[in-house]
Amino acid sequence: MAEKTDVWQGTLALMVLKTLETMGPLHGYGIARRIEQTSGDALAVNYGTLYPALLKLEQEGYISAKWGVSDNNRRAKYYSLTRAGKKQVGKEAQQWEQTSEIIARFLAPETRF
């Protein structure tokens, strides 16, 4: 069985925003599990990284948080995308695509430019 990889620095915010865009409001554990599931369990979300990222996204106004009750009847903080967050998803996705294209150029068989 393959070893799980930690989420790359700089990609967690985009994964969180995209997860909330797709799934709607979720608590931190739900966000982490969805990211892991979407990766085919190839990624491991470190909770010591996730919760500071959620706090930062909330402070930036991209997500909002509200206390609620989880499926197992525990108190949990639910995060949802704000209007600014919806715009940020598109912006960050475009930046990621551009970065991926640049990296792909370096990994492709050598070609002359």
Read off the pLDDT of each residue in 28-38 and give the average, rounded to a whole number.
96
The pLDDT tens digits for 104-113 are 999 987 765 5
Number of H helices, E strands in the chain: 4, 5
Q: Grade residue 62 by pLDDT with cuts at 50, 70 and 90.
A: very high
Pairing between β-strand 43-44 and β-strand 5-6 as defined by DSSP bridges: parallel
What are the structural domain ranges in the chain?
5-107
Architecture of domain 5-107: Orthogonal Bundle (1.10)
* Nearest alpha-carbon partner for 15 in 2, 34, 28: 34
Q: What's the pTM value of the predicted model, to 2 decimals?
A: 0.85
Mean of the pLDDT values across residues 6-35? Answer: 92
Cα-based distances in Å from 87 to 17, 27, 49, 84 = 10, 21, 23, 5
Using 50, 70 and 90 to split pLDDT, how confident is the model at 69? Answer: very high
pLDDT of residue 5 exceeding 80, the answer is no
Q: For position 85, what pLDDT does the model report?
A: 97
